[in-house]
Structure 1
Amino acid sequence: TPELFSPEAPSTSHACPTLQAEEGGVVLQATTEGVLCSQESTNTHRSPTTKRPRISEEPVVPAGSRTNRLQSPVTPLSRCVTVGRTYSVLVVVVCPCHLKEIKAKSGPSAGTFVPLASIVVMDHSGTEMKVVLWRQAAFWVLTVNAGDVLLITGLQVREDRWRGETVLQSTFRTKLLNLGHTSTLHSGPHHVDADLLSSLCSFVREQRPLLVSLPCRPVQKLDRLPYVTLRMLRVNTLVHALLQVTHSYVSSDWRNEAESRSRSAVQMKAVVSVEQPGGQQGVLILWGSAVDWLGRFHRNKNTVWDFHILLVREGLTSDLFELHSTPWSSVKALDLTDRRVQEFQRAQSSWTGSRRPVELDLDTLLSQKYSGEVELRVQIWTFKFQDVLPSQNPVQPVLDSSTPLDAIVAVLSGDITYTGCARCYSELDTDANGIYVPCYPCLPHTAVCRFYRPGVLMISERGCSKISVQVPPVPLQKILKAPPDRLQRSSALDPLVKHIQVAAERIHHLLSNPRKTFSITLQSHFLCDENSIPISQDFTLLDFQFPSCVSSL
C-alpha cells in the first residue's frame, strides 16, 4: 500500500482496516503506531517430504494485532553481547545501506542468492551498532530513513569474523516497527517505555542535531506516482519514468572479488545509463532479479521503456541522484504507436537537431576562434600514438603516406593499449601484487576495459595551416575497427586475417592519399587573452566518417 513507504501513520479519526501489503514474503503494515515490517510465514502448503525450514511456528493472528507481539523488554545496545541470544532494541537510524543480493557459499542456501541489507543504529547511550537484515527482512531497509526511530525485536548477536565486529542480525522471528522521524515523534505506542523513548529523542536532538534536521520522507500513493524527468528527481521518493537505455554493464569485478575463498557473498547489480529528451542523462541501478532486464535492453535498442516504481537515492560518489530498482519495480517496452513514444521521439529529434555540429572550414574555425562542436572536411597527413610515460619508453613513430604496411603492423605490436576504467577511460596502475588499483572518482563502478592509447592526427584543408587533433580511445577504436584486447586474434570475417592486420590496413588507407577528403566532427576550445589573442587551442576528435570504400575493409 502507498503509505507503507512513509513512517507517517494514517489518520485515526475514523475506523478503517489496517493497510497491509505482502510481496514475496515481505509484510508491511501501516498501523496507528507506525509502519510495521514482518515476514510472512512460509511453512504453509509444504510438501511432507521437504525439509522443515527454520521459521517461526507462531499461530496465525489477525493483522491488526501483530503489534502486540512486539511487547518484549528493550535492551541497551551496550548490553547486546551474548552471541546467539535474542534481543529487542529501541534505536534511531544513523545510516541505512542499499539493498543487495549475495550468493551463499555454505549452509542449506548454498549456491542461491539471498537478499541482504544493513542499518547502522544508535540508542540513547550513544552506542552505535550494525543491524544486518537477511532474506525478506532485507527489504525493510526501503521503509527506513536516517533519523527514524525503530523498535526491532527478535535480533541475535553474531560475530562478523570478516570485519572483526559484533553485529545484530535478523532471524525468522524479527519484526521492525518504524515509529516515525525524530523531529516529528512526540509519543510512542503504549508498549514502549515512554521515558526510554523520550531519552532517546532528547539524546539525538542534543548530540546528533543533523539527524533531526534531515527532511522526512514524503507520503506517497503507489497508484498516483508521478512520471518524472531526470532533472526533477527528489531523493527518497518513488517514481515512474520513461527512459531510453544508452549503456549498461554488470559489476562483475565485485562478483569475482566476493567469490574468493576469504569471502562468502557476492553483490549482484547492474549500472544502466539512461537518457531523456533535452540531453538529460541519468543512472539506473538494477538490483537482484532486475539485472535480467539487461537482455531485453540489448535486444531492443532505441526503445522507449516505461519503468514503474523506481526509488530515487543519493549518488554514492557525486551529488547527482540515482534511480534504483525495488522489489516492486517493473518495466515494459512501449509500442511505437503509443502517443508517449511519439512525443518522446519528437522531443528527442528536436533537441538533437538543435545541437548539430556547426559546419565550418578550417580557415574560418581558426580565424573566428570558435569553441564548440565543428564539422570539417579535411585531409589526413600523419598519425601517431601518444608517447608512453615514463620517458625511457621508446618514442612512438610518426606514420604518414610513405610508411609501409609492415611498419604500421610493427607499431601496432608495441605498447599502444592499456587497461583503464570502463567509465572514464583513465589508465589504472597496479599494486605490488599486480592487482589494478580502483578508479576512486568512479567508485563504486569498478569495471575495467582494454583501450587504445590516445592518438594524434595532423590535418589540413586545401593547403591551409595544419592542426593537430587529439584522438581519444573510443573514437580511435572506431577508426581502427579492431578490439584492442584481441589484436593478435583472428578476425570474425576471415579466420586467416588477424585484427592487427585489419587495423594496420585501416591506418594505411587513411594515410595513403593525403589529398583524400574525410568528414570529421571535433570539439574545439580556444583560450584567449583580453586582446582575443589565443593562449591555447585544443581540438578533440568526436566522430570520423570513412568513405564507403574504406568502411568496407
Structure 2
Amino acid sequence: STYSYRGEKQTKIILAVEQVKDRHYTLVLWGAVAACCPQLQRKKDHIWQFKYLFARHNPVSGELELHTTPWSSFECLFDDDKRAVEFKEKFDRGVKSLMSVTGLPAHLEEKRSGVIQVRAHISELKFAAASSPCGQLVFNARTSLQHIFDSLSRITYPGCAKCGLELQMDDNKIYKQCLSCVPLNKVKMFYRPALMTVEDGGYDIPVRVVPELMEKMFLGIPADWLNKTIEPFLDTTYGMIVADLCHSLVTDSKASYLLEMRSQFVLDENSYPLEKNFHLLGLHIDL
C-alpha cells in the first residue's frame, strides 16, 4: 500500500513468513525495500534471508512483528546453498525440535508472545455452568471424586457437529438448528471449554482449553460415551474413567505436565502487561 506521511509518499508490503513450520509471522517491508515486490511475488515459495530487522509487538493484536529499517538487507537463497540446506532440515523437523522448554516465572518475566512450552502443575479446572450457583463449576484439590462424577453432565453440552455452537431445545424437546451451518443439522456432545490454572515456581496463570483439547486430556473419550459401559457385563462406565482422570489432574500435586501454549501479551509503552492470554495447544505427562 502507498500513503502519505509528513508530506512524503510511503510504501509498505506486508509478508507472511515462516521460520518454523505452520507458525506464521508478519514481516513489513518499508520504503525503498518495497521495490522488491515483483521479485518476492515470483519467488514467494523460496527461502529468503532477511538481516537487520526491527522486532516489535503489534499494539492491537499483541503478536510479534518484524520490520525493515534503512540498514536491512535481503537475499533469495539457492536450494543448494548451505544456509538453505540447514534451514530446510530444521524447518522440516517442525516446531517441537526448535522450541525450548522454559519455566513459567522466566516466561512471565520475558513477556514474550508466541508458542511456548512450560513444565507446570495443574491446580484447578473451571467450567462455565449455568446450573451452578455462581455460574461456574470449579474442580480443585478439595473436590471429591464423587462430586466430579456427579457433575459430568454439567461439563458437557449438545452442539452443532460442524461448528460446535451450543444448541438449545424448543418446547417439543427438539434441538434448534444452527443457522450458520444449515442444511447440516447433526447434533454432537462436546466437553465445555475450561479455564485451567497451572502453577510453577510460585506463579500461576489461567490457560484456556477448547473442547477438542478437553477430550484429548480425557484420553480421547467422547462426551457422548460417558454413560456407556466399557464392557457389556461390567458396571464401569467411561464416565467413571473421565471423572477419575479429572480428579487426578487437579489433586496430584506431584504430577508435572509439559504444556504447549500460545502466549499473548499486550504491553504498554513501559512494557507493563495490560493483558495476558494463554491458550493450550497440547499437554503431555512430563516424564
Secondary structure, aligned partner of 1:435? coil
Amino acid in structure 1 at the alignment position of 2:144:
P
Are 1:467 and 2:208 an aligned pair? no
Are 1:398 and 2:138 an aligned pair? yes
| TM-score in terms of structure 1 length | 0.33
Q: Alpha carbons of 1:531 and 1:475: their partners in 2 closer, same or farther (altered >3 Å)?
A: same
| TM-score in terms of structure 2 length | 0.60
Are 1:353 and 2:91 an aligned pair? no
Q: Alpha carbons of 1:354 and 1:499: their partners in 2 closer, same or farther (altered >3 Å)?
A: closer
Amino acid in structure 2 at the alignment position of 1:402:
R
Q: Give the equivalent residue in structure 2 for 1:153.
A: none
Q: Alpha carbons of 1:451 and 1:392: their partners in 2 closer, same or farther (altered >3 Å)?
A: closer
Q: Give the equivalent residue in structure 2 for 1:88.
A: none
CA contact (8 A) 2:177 2:185 kept: no
Amino acid in structure 2 at the alignment position of 1:350:
F
Secondary structure, aligned partner of 1:403? coil
How far has the Cα of 1:422 moved from its partner?
A: 3.2
Are 1:410 and 2:150 an aligned pair? yes
How far has the Cα of 1:513 moved from its partner?
A: 2.3
Q: Give the equivalent residue in structure 1 for 2:116.
A: 374
Secondary structure, aligned partner of 1:398? strand
How many Å separate the matches in 1 of 2:199 and 2:283? 15
Identify which of 122, 125, 128 aligns with 1:386. 128
- Cα-to-partner distance string for 1:433-483 (whole Å, 9 max, x where unaligned): 52332251x566654421001112211113x21111111111111112332
Aligned identity (percent) is: 28
Secondary structure, aligned partner of 2:107? helix
Amino acid in structure 1 at the alignment position of 2:121:
Q
Q: Alpha carbons of 1:401 and 1:532: their partners in 2 closer, same or farther (altered >3 Å)?
A: same
Secondary structure, aligned partner of 1:496? coil
Q: Give the equivalent residue in structure 2 for 1:175.
A: none
Identify which of 194, 197, 220 aligns with 1:458. 197
CA contact (8 A) 1:358 1:373 kept: no
For the pair shown, the structure with the greater C-alpha radius of gyration is 1
How many Å separate the matches in 2 of 1:523 and 1:494? 44
Structure 2 unpaired stretches of 5+: 1-20, 24-87
Are 1:528 and 2:248 an aligned pair? no
- Cα-to-partner distance string for 1:460-507 (whole Å, 9 max, x where unaligned): 113x21111111111111112332112111125983211111011111
* Alignment RMSD (CA, Å): 3.3
How far has the Cα of 1:383 moved from its partner?
A: 1.8
- Cα-to-partner distance string for 1:342-377 (whole Å, 9 max, x where unaligned): xxxxx7983452575452211122111111111110
Amino acid in structure 2 at the alignment position of 1:479:
M
- Cα-to-partner distance string for 1:97-140 (whole Å, 9 max, x where unaligned): xxxxxxxxxxxxxxxxxxxxxxxxxxxxxxxxxxxxxxxxxxxx
Identify which of 181, 188, 194 aligns with 1:449. 188
Q: Alpha carbons of 1:458 and 1:496: their partners in 2 closer, same or farther (altered >3 Å)?
A: same
How many Å separate the matches in 1 of 2:223 and 2:272? 40
How many Å separate the matches in 2 of 1:354 and 1:382? 28
CA contact (8 A) 1:439 1:446 kept: no
CA contact (8 A) 1:460 1:467 kept: yes
How far has the Cα of 1:396 moved from its partner?
A: 3.4
CA contact (8 A) 2:119 2:286 kept: no
CA contact (8 A) 1:380 1:460 kept: yes
Identify which of 247, 250, 257 aligns with 1:518. 257
CA contact (8 A) 1:279 1:351 kept: no
Secondary structure, aligned partner of 1:399? strand
Q: Alpha carbons of 1:536 and 1:444: their partners in 2 closer, same or farther (altered >3 Å)?
A: farther
Amino acid in structure 2 at the alignment position of 1:410:
D
Structure 1 unpaired stretches of 5+: 1-277, 281-346, 549-553
How many Å separate the matches in 1 of 2:271 and 2:115? 20
Identify which of 489, 493, 499 aligns with 2:238. 499
Q: Alpha carbons of 1:466 and 1:494: their partners in 2 closer, same or farther (altered >3 Å)?
A: farther
How many Å separate the matches in 2 of 1:392 and 1:496? 28
Alignment of 1:66-215 (within 5 A): none
Secondary structure, aligned partner of 1:419? strand
